[in-house]
Structure formats: C-alpha cells, structure tokens
Amino acid sequence: MTVNEHVVIFAVPSWGHVRSLVALACRIIQQKPDVGITILTAGDIIKKVEAEVVRYFSPGGESKNNIRIISVLEPSPDIFGIIVQTAGACMNFYQTISREERVTCLVSGKTFEPWRKPTLVISDVS
C-alpha cells in the first residue's frame, strides 16, 4: 500500500498516554488508508501497543501495516529513567525519519524502510 501522507506520534511509555494515541492512529488509518503512521515510544510497551493495534482491525486486514511501532530506547527496569530520556530519543529518531532514512526499533530489531517526510507530528512528550 502506498503511503501518501505520514504522521509521526511521540508518546511517553506509559499506557495511559499511549493507548489513546493508538486509538487515534487506528481511526486515522481506518478513515484514510493511504496514511502511514509511525508511533515512537520507548521500552517494552511496544508489545502492548502492537496487541492494541491488532484489536482495531479485522484478521488479515492489510491497513494495519500502515502503522509502525518503534521503540526509541531499549528496555530498562528504570521506568523513570526511560520516561526522562524518551523526549531526546524521539527527537533523534524523528530527525532520521525526516531525512527519509531507514529506522530500526531498539526492542524488536525490525528495520523499517523510509516513508515520505512527515506531514503531521503529534507529541505527548514534553
């Protein structure tokens, strides 16, 4: 599926922050399947995010592939340290995404091919 617009979402790795942004991302894709969404967060929460995304789409639905979930930090037992470091790490990944370069999730190890420059950024990171 071709990505004509690209939305990047930065989220603090806290379920209360991330879950509503996942719902927004899924609703955007359901309404406009030519949009690609990159969710940047940190640590192991990406596993929970991936499971939440699956809930919004029917089995075999291809449009869920237009949501990329990327951890910008490796897992750590120091959740407060991760929260503090998330903003800077998201900005580093955002710069790579803006240059239309490949990005690799630091938890799953998946490498994602570049999409066009972001047309919108939604941030829940301060």
Torsion region of 39: left, alpha or beta (phi above 0 gives left; psi -120 to 50 gives alpha):
beta
State residue 59's pLDDT score. 80
* Stated pTM of the model: 0.92
Summarize pLDDT for 30-88 with one digit per residue, the tens. 999 999 999 999 988 999 999 999 999 888 777 888 999 999 999 888 888 888 888 89
Count CB atoms within 10 A of the CB of residue 19: 15
- Secondary structure class of 6 (helix, strand, coil): strand
Distance CA 79, CA 64 (A): 28
Q: Which numeric CATH code is attached to 5-124?
A: 3.40.50
Please tell me the predicted confidence (pLDDT) of residue 96: 96
With beta carbons less than 8 A apart as the criterion, state whether 104 and 72 touch. no
